[in-house]
Chain A
C-alpha cells in the first residue's frame, strides 16, 4: 500500500509539472520515477513489479480498444503508405545504427523497432492543442500511429520467438493470426450484440468486468498458443473496438487508463538505472535518427499520397518525431524474455524521454511554417495569371464551391488557392483561376497578386495563418477570415481583418430549425 502511495504521489507531481510547463506527461513520469529510485525512499519491489505487470497488460489492451479503422476513413491508402515506408525505413536505420554503436543483433532489432514507433498519447495531446489547425492531417497522423502500434505488436510477437527456430516462429505466427482472426470476428459481431436491449440495461459494472474478463481470456489463449500475454491483451482490445462498443467500454475504463498510465510509467522510471553513463551517447545518436529521418520521410510520402498541403505534411512529420510508450513497453517485455538487459531498457526509456519532451516545441504549425521555406517542391506551383481587382479565396475544401458562388454571380474574378491539386485542376477545367498551394504560404500571396486584389477571403482552418496573411498585407488589401471561436475573431480584428464568425451563423440557423422543431413537437 505504501509502495502504491509513493508511486501515486510521484505520478501526481508528474501530472502537475506537465500541466504547469505544458510538457508531455510520460517523459516526466519516467524522469520522476528515476529520481525517486535515486533519491527517494525505498519502494516495495513487489508493488513495482505488480504495477508493471498489470499496467502492461492494461495499457496494451486500451491501445487495442482505441484502434478503430473508422478513425482514418478516407485516408487508409495514405496511412498504409506513410506507415509502412516510415516503419520499415526508420527501424532499418535504427537497426544498423545500433549495430554500428556496437550492440548485438537482437538488441539492435529491439532498438530499431523502438525508434520506428511514435507515441499516441503525446501526439493526441499535441493535436488537441492545435485542434483548429489539425483538421486536414489529424486522420492521417492518428492512422499512421495505429499502423505503427500494430506493427510493433507484431514485432513483439515475432521477437518472442526469436532464437527458437524457424518452426517455432512459424507456429507462433500462425497462432498470432488465429488469435487475430478471432478478434476480427468479434470486432465485427460484438457491436451488433451491443445494440440489444439487454446490453443497454446492464450497468457499468458488468461492462467493466466483462471487458476485463475478455482481456484475460485472450491473454491466456495467446499464452497457451505460445504467444505473449501482451499480444493477447492487444487483440482483446481490438475485439471490442467496433462502434459503439468501443465508446461504451472506453468511457467505463477511462479512469483505469489514467490510473495505470500514471503508475506504470512512474514504476518504470523507478527501474531505470542511470548510473551507467555509457547509454547517453547512444541515446543521443538514436534520438537524432528520430528527429532527422522521420519528419522529412513522413512529410514527403504524406504530401505525395495523402492529398494534404505541404505544410500539413511537414507538421505531420514533426508530430511523429518521437518514440512511443510502446517502445518502452516492448523493451520491458524483451527484458522479461531475457533478450535484452536492463541497460537497454534504460536506453529506450531515455530516448523516449528526450524525444517526447521535445515534441511540443517542434510539432507546432508555426515551426512547420519556418521549415516550409526548405521545401524543395515549393517553387513548382502553377504561376498565376496576371490579375487585378480580383478576390482571392484561401482554402477551398468541401464548402468552397458555395463560397465562390456570390462572386461569380456578380461577375467578379475569383482566384482560389487550395492544397488539393484535384480541386484546382477541376476549377481550372471550369475556367476558374486556381493555384495549388498552401494558403498560409506568404509567397503564394505574391504570386496571386494579392496587393492588387480587391479582397482576400480566408477559409483556412488555422486562425494564426489568417492573422499572418493580414499582417503581411498590412492594409493594402482587406482580408475577411472565417473563424469558429470568439477568441479567434478577436485575434483577426486586432490584426486588422474582418472576421466572419461561423458559430453565429450556425446559431441563427439552429434557432430557426429549433422553432419548427418545437412547434411540431407540441
Chain B
C-alpha cells in the first residue's frame, strides 16, 4: 500500500464519526455535534490523529457536494419570494454585526486591525452547518431555509472579496496602498462576473440537450452531474474563487433541469459521508489558547454571536414582512460562525493583520456556537412555543407587509403507490385512476412516467428517500409490478413495517412461498392469471371444439 497513513487516518475518522453519531442519535442531538466531538476526541484531546492534509480532498469534496446540493435545490420561484429580503437582511446583518463586533473586540482589548479580523469572523455564519441542518430537517425549501441560504450567499460573496483583498495585502507586504485594495475588489468582482456569465451560457445552451439525453441512464446522469460540478469547481479555482461558489453555481445551472430532484436524492448520501469527514477534521484541527481569561473572552464572544446575530436578523426579517415564526427560524439557523471564519483568520494572521490569539478565540467561539445553533434548530418548535408570547419576541413588533408563502406540500393519503411502470404497472395505474383512486406511480425511467394522468415520482423505489416521498405510511396500498424478486421482497418488507398492505408481482411461481412469508395481501401471478383469458380466446377462435373424425 502506497499511503498507509491516509487509509489509517480516514479509517479512524469514520469509526469515530460512527460511534459518536450513534450516541448523538440516542441523545437526539444533531450529527454535526457528534462529528465535532469525534474530531476533538481524535485530535486535541487524545492526539490519535494529527492534523494532516491526508484527508483534505475528501473533506473538501464534502463541502463541494453540499454546496452543489444547495444550488440544485434553488428554485426560481423561491428566489423571487425571498431574494430581496435575503440581500437586504444579508447586507444589514453584515453591517450591524461587524460594527457591534468591532466594539466587542475593542472591549476585550484588541487593537483595531485584529478587532476587524475578529469582527469579520463573528459576522459570518456557516453555510455547511445551516444546509446540513436544513437537509436533516427537510426544510431546505421553506421560507426560513431559503432566506438563510440567501443571507449566507451574500456573506460568501463578502468573504470572498475580503479574502482576495487580504491575501493581496499579505502578498504586497502589508503596504496600505488603496489602489491594490480597490484592484483586488475589482478583480474578484470581475472574475465572479465572468464565472457567472459562463455558467449562465452553459445552463442555457450546453446543459439542457446533454442532460436530457443522458437522463435515459441514471448512472450516466449521476456521474455526468458530479463531473460537471467538479469541473466548474476546478475552473472557478483557476480564477482564484472559492470551490464553494463554483459548486453552488454548478448546482444552480442544473437546478431547472427535470432530473434535478432525483439527482439530489442520490447525491445526499455521498455528501453525508464526505461532509462527516469534513466536520471531524475540523474538530481535529482546532487549537485553543490557555488561561481563564481566554476562555472567558471566548465565551462572551460566543454569547454575543448567539444573542446578537439572532436579534439583528430577527429584527431585519420581521421588519421586511416575515411572520414571527419565519423570522424566528431564519435567525435561529444563522446563530453560529463559519468555517470561513477560521480560514479568514488564518489568512489574516498570515498577512500579519492579527496575532494568533484571534484565530484561537474564533476556534472556541465556533466550537461553542455551532453545537448551540444545531441543537436550538433541532428543538426550534419547543423553543418557539416557549418564547412566543414573551416580551422578548413582542418587542420586534408586527410585520410591515404580507409574509411570503410557505411552499405547498401536496398532502397524500389513502392513495395507492404503484412501483414499476411496465405494461402491467401502466394498466393498473390507468384503471385505478379511472375509478377515482389517487395513484402515485414510481419508476426510475422518466420515459415510462410520461403521459400518466396520476402523480409520478422518478427514482428507485428501494431507496428510503424515494419511498418517503411516496407518503407510504399514509397510503392505502403498495403495489409492485417489478420483475426483480429481490426488490419485490424488500418492498413487501418495507410496506409490512409501515403497516401498509402490499401487492407484488411474482413472475416466477417458485417465489410465491417467500413472498407469502412476508405477508403480502395479494400476489399477482400473470402466468396463472392468463388461464381465464386463454380459455376465452381459445373458445372464441374455436380451438376447443372437439376434433371431427
In A202-239, the 8 Å CB interface with B consists of 202-206, 208-210, 212-213, 216-217, 219-220, 229
Assuming the A-B contacts A398-B527, A500-B537, A503-B424, are A131 and B483 also in contact, with contact meaning beta carbons closer than 8 angstroms in the complex? yes
Taking a contact as CB atoms under 8 Å apart, the answer to whether B19 and A213 are in contact is yes
Does A285 touch B at the CB level, under 8 Å? no
Chain B residues within an 8 Å CB radius of A336: 1-2
Chain B residues with Cβ under 8 A from A518's Cβ? Answer: 476
Distance in angstroms between the alpha carbons of A202 and B508 in the assembled complex: 34
- On whether A510 and B464 interact (CB within 8 A), knowing A15-B224, A135-B507, A403-B534, the answer reads no
Contact pattern, A 473-490, Cβ under 8 Å of B = 1, otherwise 0 = 000001010101111000
Asked if B510 and A74 sit within 8 Å, CB to CB, the answer is yes
Is A505 a contact partner of B533 (Cβ separation < 8 A)?
Answer: yes
Picked from B483, B505, B538, B547, the residue with its CB within 8 Å of the CB of A411 is B547
The reply to whether A507 and B431 contact each other, CB–CB distance below 8 Å, is: yes
Let me know if A50 and B227 touch, CB within 8 A. no
Given contacts A1-B60, A229-B1, A251-B460, contact A19 B272 (CB under 8 A): no
Structural contact, B214 and A247, CB atoms closer than 8 A = no
Q: A19-B220, A212-B14, A411-B546 are in contact. Are A399 and B527 (CB under 8 A)?
A: yes
A157 CB to closest chain B CB, in angstroms? 16
Closest to B219 in A: A258
Q: Does B270 contact A (CB under 8 A)?
A: yes
Point out the residue from B15, B432, B532 that lies within 8 Å of A216, measured CB to CB: B15
Binds A, one of B3-11, B329-337, B345-353: B3-11
Which B residues touch A54, using CB under 8 A?
Answer: 7, 10
Q: How large is the interface on A (under 10, 10 to 19, 20 to 34, 35 or more residues)?
A: 35 or more
Q: Which of B208-260 contact A (CB under 8 A)?
A: 214, 216-217, 219-220, 222-224, 226-228, 230-231, 233-234, 237, 243
A135 near B508 with CB under 8 A, answer: yes
Q: In the complex, A200 Cα to B272 Cα: how many Å?
A: 19
Asked if A298 is an interface residue, CB under 8 A from chain B, the answer is no
Kindly provide the distance from the CB of A158 to the nearest chain B CB, expressed in whole angstroms.
Answer: 19
Knowing A204-B464, A212-B273, A220-B11 are in contact, say whether A510-B490 is a contact too (CB < 8 A). no
Q: Tell me whether A49 and B477 are in contact (CB under 8 A).
A: no
Does residue B168 face the partner (Cβ distance < 8 Å to A)? Answer: no
B residues in contact with A254, CB < 8 Å: 266, 269, 460, 463
Interface residues of B, count at CB 8 A: 97
Let me know if A482 and B534 touch, CB within 8 A: yes
Query: Does A442 make an interface contact (CB < 8 A)?
Result: no
Q: Which residues of chain B are within 8 angstroms of A210 by Cβ–Cβ distance?
A: 18, 22
Instruction: Mark contacts of A162-202 with chain B using CB atoms, 8 A cut-off: 1 yes-contact digit, 0 otherwise.
Output: 00000000000000000000000000000000000000101
Write the chain A residue with the least CB distance to B526. Answer: A502
Q: Assess whether A509 is in contact with B493, with CB atoms less than 8 Å apart.
A: no
A282-316 contacts to B, CB under 8 A, are none
Across the interface, do A398 and B509 meet the contact criterion of CB distance under 8 Å? yes
Least CB separation from A507: chain B residue? B427
The answer, yes or no, to whether B379 is at the interface (CB within 8 Å) is no
Chain A positions within 8 Å of B428 at CB level: 507, 510
Decide yes or no whether B462 CB sits under 8 A from chain A: yes
Q: What's the Cα separation between A405 and B15 when bound, in Å?
A: 62
Known pairs A15-B217, A500-B533, A506-B529; A213 contacts B424 (CB<8 A): no
Stretch at the interface among A6-14, A317-325, A356-364: A6-14
Min distance, Cβ A152 to any Cβ of chain B, angstroms? 20
Q: Which residue of A lies closest to B429 (CB)?
A: A507
Chain A residues positioned under 8 Å from B227 (CB to CB): 5, 8-9, 11-12
Question: Chain B residue with minimal CB distance to A71?
Answer: B486
What residues of chain B lie closer than 8 Å to A25, measured between beta carbons? Answer: 219
Q: Is B543 an interface residue (CB 8 A)?
A: yes
Q: Are B547 and A506 in contact (CB under 8 A)?
A: no
Determine whether the beta carbon of A216 is less than 8 Å from that of B14.
yes
Q: Which B residue's beta carbon lies closest to that of A70?
A: B486
**What sequence of 0s and 1s flags, for each residue 11-32 of chain A, a beta carbon within 8 Å of any chain B beta carbon?**
1100110110000010000000
Q: How distant is A307 from chain B, measured CB to nearest CB, in Å?
A: 12
Q: Which residue of A lies closest to B535 (CB)?
A: A406
Choose one: A1, A71, A511; the contact of B61 (CB below 8 Å): A1
Establish whether residues B272 and A204, one from each chain, have CB atoms under 8 Å apart when the complex forms: yes
A491 within 8 Å of B (CB atoms): no
- For the complex, is B503 an interface residue (Cβ under 8 Å from A)? yes
A399, B526: Cα distance in complex, Å = 10
Query: Is B501 interfacial (CB-CB < 8 Å)?
Result: yes
Residues of B within 8 A of A406 (CB): 534-535, 538, 544
| CB nearest neighbor in A for B497 | A200
Q: Check A482 against B272 for contact (C-beta < 8 Å).
A: no
CB-CB contacts of B269-312 with A at 8 A, as 1s and 0s? 11011001000000000000000000000000000000000000
Q: Which of A2, A251, A406 has the most CB of B within 10 A?
A: A251
Contact of B57 among A8, A50, A217, A220 (CB under 8 A): A50
| Residue A407 at the chain B interface, CB threshold 8 Å | yes
CA A410 – CA B15 in complex, angstroms? 70
B25: interface (CB < 8 Å): yes
Rounded to whole angstroms, the CA-CA distance of A377 and B375 in the bound complex is 73
Report if B541 contacts A (CB, 8 A): yes
Closest residue of B by beta carbon distance from A400: B527
Residue of A5, A49, A208 near B230 (CB, 8 A) is A5
- Residues from chain B with a CB closer than 8 A to the CB of A53 are 1-3, 6-7
**A101 interfacial by beta-carbon distance below 8 Å:** no
| B64: chain A residues within 8 A (beta carbon) | 1
Contacts of A217 in B (CB 8 A): 15
**Which residues of B418-432 have CB atoms within 8 Å of chain A's CB atoms?**
422-424, 427-428, 431-432
Q: Which residues of B contact A243 (CB under 8 A)?
A: 489-490, 493
A509 to chain B, nearest CB (A): 5
A9 touches B22 (CB 8 A): no
Q: Which of B508, B524, B534, B547 contacts A389 (CB 8 A)?
A: B547
* A1 with B530: CB separation less than 8 A: no
Instruction: Considering the complex, give the chain A residue whose CB is closest to the CB of B6.
Output: A50
Any chain B CB within 8 A of the CB of A81? no
In-complex Cβ contact of A517 among B7, B521, B538, B546 (8 A): B521
Q: Does B528 contact A (CB under 8 A)?
A: yes
| Residue interface mask B23-62, A partner, CB < 8 A = 1 | 0010000010000000000000000000000000100110
Among B18, B220, B237, B533, the residue within 8 A (CB) of A16 is B220
Interface string of B471-503 (1 = CB under 8 A from A): 000001101000100110110011001000101
In the assembly, what is the distance between CA of A480 and CA of B476, in Å?
37
Q: Complex formed: what's the CA distance from A397 to B14 in Å? A: 50
**Interchain CA distance A46-B525 in the complex, whole Å:** 54
Residue numbers in A under 8 Å from B535 (CB-CB)? 406
Which of A205, A258, A407 has the most chain B CB within a 10 Å cutoff?
A205
In Å, the complex CA distance between A204 and B25 comes to 12
Contact A259 B223 (CB under 8 A): yes
Contact B25 A206 (CB under 8 A): yes
Minimum CB distance partner of B20 in chain A: A209
Asked whether A485 and B531 contact (CB < 8 A) given A11-B223, A16-B220, the answer is no
Interchain CB contact under 8 A, A213 and B423: no
Point out the residues of chain B lying under 8 angstroms from A200, CB to CB: 497
Taken together as a complex, chains A and B put the C-alpha atoms of A391 and B529 apart, in Å, by 21
**C-alpha spacing A126/B223, complex, angstroms:** 21
17 contacts between A and B (CB under 8 A): A1-B60, A1-B233, A12-B220, A12-B224, A50-B57, A71-B486, A205-B21, A205-B31, A208-B269, A229-B1, A250-B462, A398-B508, A454-B543, A505-B531, A514-B432, A517-B501, A517-B522
User: Which 6 A-B pairs rank lowest in CB-CB distance, beginning with the nearest?
Assistant: A502-B526, A213-B18, A398-B509, A12-B227, A5-B230, A8-B227
Given contact pairs A212-B14, A399-B527, a sample of 5 additional A-B residue pairs in the complex whose CB atoms are under 8 Å apart: A1-B61, A16-B214, A259-B226, A406-B535, A504-B427
A residues apposed to B, CB below 8 Å? 1-2, 4-5, 8-9, 11-12, 15-16, 18-19, 25, 46-47, 49-50, 53-54, 57, 68, 70-71, 74, 131, 135, 200, 202-206, 208-210, 212-213, 216-217, 219-220, 229, 243-244, 247-248, 250-256, 258-259, 262, 336, 389, 391, 397-399, 402-403, 405-407, 410-413, 454-455, 457, 459, 478, 480, 482, 484-487, 498, 500-511, 513-514, 517-518, 521
